[in-house]
């Protein structure tokens, strides 16, 4: 063999072949330049919150056609390609009076959005549920009752969700109803910062409306740097509460009633009356989720409840006619930070220094 032929043979042997092992690794001829995409879509119940989250993420809110047919059926169609994308669907399973939607409508809409995304070959489907509907029905309190929070979890997984992101669940065991990952956010840093930024004439005292929220009230008080108290409550029937007495000193102080949600406001107004009767200078209410159903607005008006201010977040859209003493804080930044970390496969709990499990 001539010298030229030897050099040519050596160069051929040195060239790596497609799909062969080279230096212990498999080298594929397929292109390996895949780049993940993040897409955010909003359901009709949480479209405004979804737009704020998309703005925080510097992405355009995805275009999706959502309609309710004349017979009440929900329809969904994505108006752009979502193939290979990480799709975040923002939808609290709550009612939205302006959109003429009930909590069941919102849940069904979220389910069909998940199914449509699955059929459109999305890479991952993450349901962002700032308010997890049915979360209070998390156990059997009487014979022959369902555990509806578990039903919702099983339905979400059956239709194809890959992950769930939610905020301030009513109870921690709801996470156990899922086999898929559940990221639990909390509005506590935002709410505690709000009270630390306010100037009050009287000393603050954080009050838990019942024994079940003692840990939340204690952590809240520790963050703000004040004392806390707890109220004894009995619930003779669903959505009916009777406040007994207060353990702790509230006399002459500004009492901040802290809870995870305000629904019909029966518990809250009863607690406010008890606190005022115990000598509190004034009462402020604070909760993550302002559901405000039924007679809540009438009960919470300042002249009816004696509550100076009610501070909630935008996890649930306010229905029209809210009294002037309701203040709404946005969770868009917190949820956007969590979405960004999920998309990048980073730690979510670092946002809250590991304190996002409050139960």
Beta-strand (E) ranges in the chain?
20-22, 25-27, 37-42, 64-68, 74-78, 85-90, 124-129, 163-167, 182-185, 204-208, 227-237, 240-247, 254-262, 282-290, 307-313, 326-329
Cα distances (Å, whole numbers) of residue 136 to 115, 245, 279, 297: 26, 24, 32, 21
Supply the angle between the helices 47-57 and 332-343 in degrees, to the nearest 10: 60
Q: Show the CA angle centred on residue 36, arms to residues 31 and 38, nearest 5°.
A: 155
Write out the two tokens for 264. 């019909």
The CA distance from 72 to 69, in Å, is 5
- The yes-or-no answer on residue 215 being catalytic is no
Phi-psi map region of 165: left, alpha, beta (phi>0 left; psi -120 to 50 alpha): beta
Q: Active-site residue among 118, 180, 233, 251?
A: 233
Question: In angstroms, rounded to a whole number, what is the distance separating the alpha carbons of residues 319 and 148?
Answer: 25
C-beta separation of 95 from 88 below 8 A: no
Residues catalogued as catalytic: 233
């Amino acid at each position: 063999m001539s010298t030229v032929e030897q050099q040519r043979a050596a160069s051929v042997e040195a060239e790596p072949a497609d799909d062969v092992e080279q230096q212990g690794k498999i080298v594929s001829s397929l292109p390996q330049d895949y780049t993940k995409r993040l897409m955010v879509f909003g359901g009709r119940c949480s479209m405004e919150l979804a737009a704020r989250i998309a703005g925080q993420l510097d992405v355009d809110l995805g275009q999706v056609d959502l309609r309710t047919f004349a017979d009440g059926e929900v329809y969904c169609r994505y108006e752009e390609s979502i193939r290979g994308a990480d799709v975040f669907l923002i939808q609290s399973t709550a009612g939205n009076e302006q959109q003429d939607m009930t909590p069941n409508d919102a849940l069904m809409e979220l389910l069909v959005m998940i199914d449509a995304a699955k059929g459109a070959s999305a890479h991952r489907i993450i349901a962002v549920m700032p308010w997890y509907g049915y979360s209070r029905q998390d156990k059997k309190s009487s014979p022959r009752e369902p555990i509806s929070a578990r039903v919702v979890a099983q339905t979400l997984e059956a239709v194809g969700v890959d992950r769930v992101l939610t905020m301030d669940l009513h109870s921690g065991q709801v996470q156990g109803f899922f086999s898929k990952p559940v990221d639990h956010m909390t509005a506590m840093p935002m709410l505690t910062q709000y009270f630390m930024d306010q100037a009050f004439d009287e000393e603050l005292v954080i009050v838990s409306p019942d024994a079940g929220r003692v840990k939340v009230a204690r952590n809240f008080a520790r963050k703000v740097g004040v004392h806390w108290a707890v109220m004894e409550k009995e619930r003779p029937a669903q959505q009916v509460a009777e406040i007994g007495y207060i353990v702790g000193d509230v006399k002459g102080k500004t009492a901040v009633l802290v809870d995870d949600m305000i629904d019909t406001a029966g518990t809250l107004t009863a607690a406010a009356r008890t606190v005022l009767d115990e000598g509190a200078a004034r009462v402020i209410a604070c909760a993550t989720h302002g559901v405000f159903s039924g007679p809540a607005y009438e009960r919470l008006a300042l002249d009816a409840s004696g509550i100076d201010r009610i501070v909630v977040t935008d996890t649930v859209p306010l229905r029209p006619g809210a009294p002037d003493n309701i203040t709404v804080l946005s969770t868009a930044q917190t949820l956007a930070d969590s979405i960004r970390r999920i998309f990048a496969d980073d730690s979510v709990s670092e946002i809250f220094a590991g304190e996002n499990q409050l139960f």
